[in-house]
């Protein structure tokens, strides 16, 4: 989709301003949002691609006006409502309960969930899966698809319809464009693709600043060598 | 669980507590499990993990080869995991810089949760298009003919920069070398300084280095 999240190359945002001695979380609620998100993932309520796409579906003005963990919270509520796990009314009622000092939730522990969540910190991710053999080899010239699908994609807007060279084959990974949309988690070949800065940005590009993007074979077509 | 708030609780905080309460009630979440993940990120997981990987690569050329060939496997030798990893090496003519223009992909397992600037619109929009200007803002001035390779983390692979080992550190142990390696150097917005320069920089700032 042509979303506000797709920011590579945009102008106007100003200097990068690191915060000295930044804490891991700026307030407790941020840390709870992170933990709740991980729990939802481990419980299979939503996957990473649905989760990214839910943030991309925020209204652009809201996206820009929200902090990082505000976007995460918006995403969690959006997906939990869409999937029928909670309703917005239920959430409002629970906020009123808590504000009045009542928490109706009975105590609940789940050592198995905890163990599964902790395992995700160290076990190999499952995104790399057996898939069809790769069509391209390192050194092959490609051109990226020029399309603006309405759904989720990981081909950034700045790299649409651009010529590049396969730098490396990564094996097959779950395809986000379908995994975000109940389209299945089939794997497709993934490559590191190298683009010259001038191909992406034109004559105003910085010299000697190639960009490498990890792109699925579905985004790529064979191209003759440039020039 | 008690909540001590000096100021009135923000609507955001209340909303998050309500969400947690609902998910606990539906037995989808246990608060202790959330506590455990939060404390892992606050206490255990951070740049010191990645620094060990970098220091090992500096002292052990065979390990470095394995790390560059297959980062995912090589970090498991040191007891790390949880990430499909690609390590990219800085050399005299090549500097690497990692960004995620679409969201906030970052090698958590090795360097912790990303700082706010990494997730900022400023960094995400500009790192791909004007890396030299961005690096200059971080105080990194590279020779004009140094190639800056930008890695836009668009898939489920995470990128870690293997910075150059600073000159004059031949006598340092692996542990001492790891102490020199900063988070920012593993993202590519800093270079690793030799110990003497680090002491000087820290005293000029009047505070400990990160």
Average pLDDT over residues B95-99: 98
Q: Which of A113, A170, A214 sits opposite B30 (nearest CB)?
A: A113
Per-residue pLDDT reduced to its tens digit, B20-77: 999 999 999 999 999 999 999 999 999 999 999 999 999 999 999 999 999 999 999 9
Judge if B69 and B166 occupy the same domain.
yes
Judge if B27 and B111 occupy the same domain.
no
Interchain proximity B154–A214, CB inside 8 Å:
yes
Mutate to test the interface with B, among A173, A208, A210 (most CBs of B within 10 A): A208
Judge if B128 and B34 occupy the same domain.
no
| ipTM greater than 0.90 | yes
Pick the CATH number of A28-119 from 1.10.472.20, 3.40.50.150, 1.20.1250.20, 3.40.50.1820: 1.10.472.20
How is chain A split into domains, by residue range? 28-119, 141-222
Number of domains in chain B: 2
Q: Name the burial class of residue A59, with classes exposed (0-12), middle (13-18) and buried (19+) by CB atoms within 10 angstroms of its CB.
A: exposed
Residues of chain A positioned with their CB less than 8 A from the CB of B116: 19, 22, 68
- Judged against a pLDDT cut of 60, whether residue A189 lies above it is answered with yes
Residue B125 Cα, gap to closest chain A Cα (Å): 4
Task: Tell me the pLDDT band of B204, cut-offs 50, 70 and 90.
Answer: very low
Query: What is the DSSP secondary structure assignment for residue B128, as one 8-state letter?
Result: T
Among this protein's residues, is B2 annotated catalytic? no
- Judged against a pLDDT cut of 90, whether residue A107 lies above it is answered with yes
Q: Is residue B114 part of a domain?
A: yes
Residue B57 Cα, gap to closest chain A Cα (Å): 20
Average pLDDT in chain A? 96
Interchain proximity B102–A5, CB inside 8 Å:
yes
Among this protein's residues, is B105 annotated catalytic? yes
Which of B140-144, B183-187, B200-204 is least confident?
A: B200-204
Domain range for B36? 11-44
Q: Is residue B210 part of a domain?
A: no
Judge if B104 and B182 occupy the same domain.
yes
d(CA B4, CA A145): 53
A10 three-class SS: coil
d(CA B43, CA B46): 8
Residues of chain A positioned with their CB less than 8 A from the CB of B138: 16, 18
Average pLDDT over residues A139-143: 98
Judge if B81 and B116 occupy the same domain.
yes
Q: Is residue B4 part of a domain?
A: no
Q: Which of B18, B80, B154 sits opposite A156 (nearest CB)?
A: B154
Per-residue pLDDT reduced to its tens digit, B123-160: 999 999 999 999 999 999 999 999 999 999 999 999 99
Judge if B56 and B158 occupy the same domain.
yes
Q: What is the CATH architecture of A141-222? A: Roll (2.30)
Judge if B15 and B77 occupy the same domain.
no
Interchain proximity B21–A173, CB inside 8 Å:
no
Judge if B15 and B51 occupy the same domain.
no
Judge if B84 and B30 occupy the same domain.
no
Judge if B119 and B32 occupy the same domain.
no
Judge if B115 and B53 occupy the same domain.
yes
Residues of chain B positioned with their CB less than 8 A from the CB of A214: 152-155, 157
pLDDT value, residue B210: 39
d(CA A73, CA A32): 10
| Residue of B48, B41, B82, B78 whose CA lies nearest to B63 | B78
- Residue B125: closest CA among chain A residues belongs to which residue? A8
Among this protein's residues, is B13 annotated catalytic? no
Residues of chain A positioned with their CB less than 8 A from the CB of B81: 122-124
Q: Name the burial class of residue B59, with classes exposed (0-12), middle (13-18) and buried (19+) by CB atoms within 10 angstroms of its CB.
A: middle
Give the pTM.
Answer: 0.94
Interchain proximity B16–A40, CB inside 8 Å:
no
Q: Which of B10, B18, B102 sits opposite A6 (nearest CB)?
A: B102
CB atoms within 10 A of CB B198: 16
Q: Is residue B150 part of a domain?
A: yes
Residues of chain B positioned with their CB less than 8 A from the CB of A29: 10, 12-13, 16-17
Contact indicator for B97, B142 with CB cutoff of 8 Å: no
d(CA B131, CA B12): 35
- Judged against a pLDDT cut of 50, whether residue B202 lies above it is answered with no
Q: Is residue B153 part of a domain?
A: yes
Mutate to test the interface with A, among B2, B125, B209 (most CBs of A within 10 A): B125
Cα dihedral sign for A104, A106, A112, A114? positive
Interchain proximity B102–A31, CB inside 8 Å:
no
Interchain proximity B109–A55, CB inside 8 Å:
no
B149 three-class SS: strand
| Residue of B39, B197, B27, B134 whose CA lies nearest to A108 | B27
Judge if B21 and B102 occupy the same domain.
no
Which residue is catalytic, options B21, B39, B103, B125?
B103
Interchain proximity A39–B12, CB inside 8 Å:
no
Interchain proximity A10–B132, CB inside 8 Å:
no
Interchain proximity B33–A113, CB inside 8 Å:
yes
pLDDT value, residue A182: 84
d(CA B174, CA A10): 41
- Judged against a pLDDT cut of 70, whether residue A92 lies above it is answered with yes
Q: Is residue B75 part of a domain?
A: yes
Chain A contact for B23 (CB, 8 A cutoff): yes
pLDDT value, residue B15: 98
Among this protein's residues, is B203 annotated catalytic? no
């Amino acid at each position: 989709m042509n979303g506000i999240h797709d920011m590579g190359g945009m102008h106007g945002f100003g200097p990068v301003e690191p915060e000295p001695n930044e804490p891991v979380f700026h307030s407790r609620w941020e840390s709870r949002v992170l933990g709740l998100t991980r729990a939802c993932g481990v419980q299979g309520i939503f996957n990473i691609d649905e989760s990214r796409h839910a943030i991309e579906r925020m209204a652009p003005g809201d996206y820009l006006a929200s902090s990082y963990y505000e976007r995460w919270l918006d995403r969690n509520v959006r997906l939990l409502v869409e999937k029928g796990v909670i309703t917005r009314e239920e959430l409002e009622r629970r906020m009123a309960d808590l504000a009045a000092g009542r928490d109706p939730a009975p105590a609940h522990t789940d050592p198995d969930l905890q163990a599964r969540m902790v395992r995700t910190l160290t076990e190999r991710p499952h995104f790399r899966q057996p898939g069809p053999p790769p069509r391209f080899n390192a050194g092959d010239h490609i051109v990226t698809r020029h399309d603006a699908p309405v759904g989720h994609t990981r081909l950034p807007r700045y790299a649409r319809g651009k010529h590049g060279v396969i730098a490396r084959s990564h094996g097959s990974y779950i395809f986000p464009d379908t995994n975000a949309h109940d389209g299945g988690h089939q794997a497709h070949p993934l490559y590191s693709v190298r683009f010259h800065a001038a191909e992406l940005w034109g004559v105003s590009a910085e010299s000697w600043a190639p960009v490498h993007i990890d792109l699925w074979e579905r985004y790529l077509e064979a191209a003759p060598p440039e020039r | 669980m008690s909540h001590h708030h000096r100021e009135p609780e923000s609507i955001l905080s209340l909303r998050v507590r309500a969400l947690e309460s609902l998910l606990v009630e539906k037995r989808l979440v246990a608060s202790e499990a959330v506590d455990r993940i939060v404390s892992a990120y606050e206490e255990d997981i951070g740049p010191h993990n990645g620094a060990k990987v970098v220091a090992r690569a500096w002292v052990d050329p065979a390990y470095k080869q394995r790390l560059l060939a297959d980062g995912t496997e090589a970090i498991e030798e040191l007891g790390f995991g949880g990430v499909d990893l690609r390590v990219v090496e800085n050399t005299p003519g090549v500097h690497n810089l990692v960004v995620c223009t679409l969201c906030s992909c970052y090698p958590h397992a090795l360097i912790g949760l990303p700082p706010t600037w990494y997730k900022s619109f400023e960094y995400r929009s500009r790192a791909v298009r004007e890396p030299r200007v961005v690096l200059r803002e971080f105080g990194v001035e590279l020779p004009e003919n140094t190639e800056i390779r930008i890695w836009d983390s668009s898939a489920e692979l995470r990128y870690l920069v293997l910075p150059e080992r600073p000159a004059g550190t031949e006598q340092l142990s692996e542990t001492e070398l790891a102490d020199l390696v900063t988070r920012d150097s593993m993202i590519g917005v800093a270079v690793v300084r030799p110990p003497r320069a680090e002491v000087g920089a820290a005293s000029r700032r009047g505070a400990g280095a990160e």
